[in-house]
Structure 1
Amino acid sequence: MRILCVFRHLFLPARATHRPRSRSSNDLTGLVIEIPKKDRDNDDSTIASTATGACCANRKFHLDSISHGELQQECKKSELSASGTPEVLRNRLRRAKQAKENRHKENEAIDVHAKDTHAKEHQAKRTKESVADDLICPISLDLPWDPVTAEDGRVYDRECIETHFHTHCGDLKSPITNEKMGSKLLPAVQHRNIIEALLESGAIDGDLAAKWNEKVKQKDWLKKAQKGDPYSMWGVGLLYDKGLLGLKQDKNLAFQWMQRAHDAGDVRATASLGANYLRGNGTPKCPKKGMMYVSIAAGQGSNLAAYYLGMALANGGRGMHNDKQEAIKWLAKAVGVCPYMNLSEDAVNEAQEKLNQLLA
């Protein structure tokens, strides 16, 4: 593209061509200057920058040169008060302009800070994820509670790798490389220490941390139960019954722990044991045994047992004769305050509804 320029542009790198007509060596009329594209771009930006600077520099001159009426119009455009002398209006417009420029600079600074903060947070998150990925068990994809180093050089959770060995006992291979390996395991104490330190500092969070905390609670319940604490034995029974805190649901094991807790004298366990016999939960159904345990626990202050006893007396089932007054007595206890409260809200509502019917 060719651009016609005047004499002031001759300092730019260019090559000149002449129109096919004769003229003296001093005649510049009709001279065509071909400017390379990159120089045209630079020239355009320079001109734009100069124009912007000139506009800013002339702002003060502009305000000084316009009339009172024009100043009032400028104030109205900027949503400013238009009352006052010309000098007051000029100062008002200048202050407004300066405030606008300051806000613009502040917003730019905030944007830069926000972008920088976001970048740092993103990098920190990636670092956390990378660290966590290096620490998790390749089988469970969770933090190993009991980390061990196997012969393939990897760190696993002991329970996971031992289950793998048991499943593939005839042909042991690495779960990662699929290469043959032995069954020797070495405790990875340092691995465990690193995990605990990172969890405590918050460097590991989210689902991994939540599952670890569940495991901590689970182990605490099991430890106390294994030492013979009646309440903890009942609690472990509930955990197995519902499959909570990372324990696999096991109704039979739940019943066994309830039995042990009952034998140790826990009233809640006695009530739960009776309920399990009534429902056939983890043991063959036996209404006779169920009502026996429920009656014992109800007399000792269990609202769960009071519920089962009251409903049986109200409906005349489970080997019990219908007895309205006794039913009212036990249902009132079930919905009231008892020493041992482990009845669900739905069951409380059901007991209250039945009690209202009996009292009507």
Structure 2
Amino acid sequence: MSTFLDEFAQAPGLRYLNHAAVAPWPKRTATAVSRFAQENVLLGARDYPDWMVVEQRLRERLMRLLNAPSTDDIALVKNTSEALSFVAFGLDWKAGDQIVISDEEFPSNRVVWEALAPQGVEVIQVSLKNNDPEAALLAACGARTRLLSISSVQYASGLRLDLERLGQGCKQRSVLFCIDAIQQLGALPFDVQASQCDFAMADGHKWLLGPEGLGVFYCRSELRPQLKLSEFGWHMLEHMGDYNRTTWEPALSARRFECGSPNMLGTMALEASLSLLEDVGMDTVEKAIAERILWLEEGLSAIPGVRLHTPKNPEKRAGILSFSLDGIANADVFERLKQEQVVCVQRGPGIRFSPHFYTESRVIEETLAIVRTLAAH
């Protein structure tokens, strides 16, 4: 894996532990964007068909990353929130329908469902602070529950849920299953078929090491025709490119959710970033992240006054580790870390660290030393 570590060239002294927010780009991604910019300067869109080849390659990489049955199941969207909105405002709701979520969701996976209140849809928030959060979520799915929408990894606590168990439970209860995978995709293997989910979505700018403004939306093929469309244009048509055709129908594939001109700049960048993850291999990525999270956990646990908020069970966490220091406000801890060029964020009950597979040992050791010094004062 040492060869791939050369893909990252961060500023001297920078300690980057913020991949759960916005990730740095690999060198190959910057090269792809630079090459694309230069091509636009010199040639404009002369070679647009070649750009479409890259777009198709991106769909294929995403198909493999999600283990989707086909590239037809993959839509390229602006972000996770847009994909969630396609589901929320595409399904045919009836007054009294219920949606189950957790009480720890990022606003994107809460507000979109609460926006259905004028249609008489009720949102049930379930606490995950128990020994069996999956059982609690499934127990909340009653006769009126239409959909369970959950983040595979909670953005603040770092709790990872058993998606296969939730998927099986939803199937037994005839409940639709929607996964916000933004904190898992690119950090751990992810499988839409094994989880039996109906919908899944994620952005490219976190663990996928890509730019903001381009994400992925998976929709199970049988459900695509059931989602009412709210955006229309030339790109989402079955006969895209036949500009003289007077009759039209939405594309049978997930392209039906892509109404207009694609984000080709983002496509070039994300395709390059995903090529790196494929070259490294998701099993290797998962193992490397787990090692770094364990390193941080053991180091922080040895510091007096540190309180961990992320589960210690490796099967219950992914790439996020949250902590706080007794007697010191999170804002003060964050400010000190910021001064020391530790890039992280305040989220939920503590400070959130999120290393990736390439994070150097120096970054972890120096960060732990900073926290140790802070706790001693």
Query: Shorter-chain TM-score category?
Result: under 0.3
Q: Which has the higher contact order (CA 8 A, sep 6+)?
A: 2
Higher-Rg member (1/2): 1
TM-score (norm 2): 0.23
The structure carrying a bigger helix percent of its residues is: 1
The structure carrying a bigger strand percent of its residues is: 2
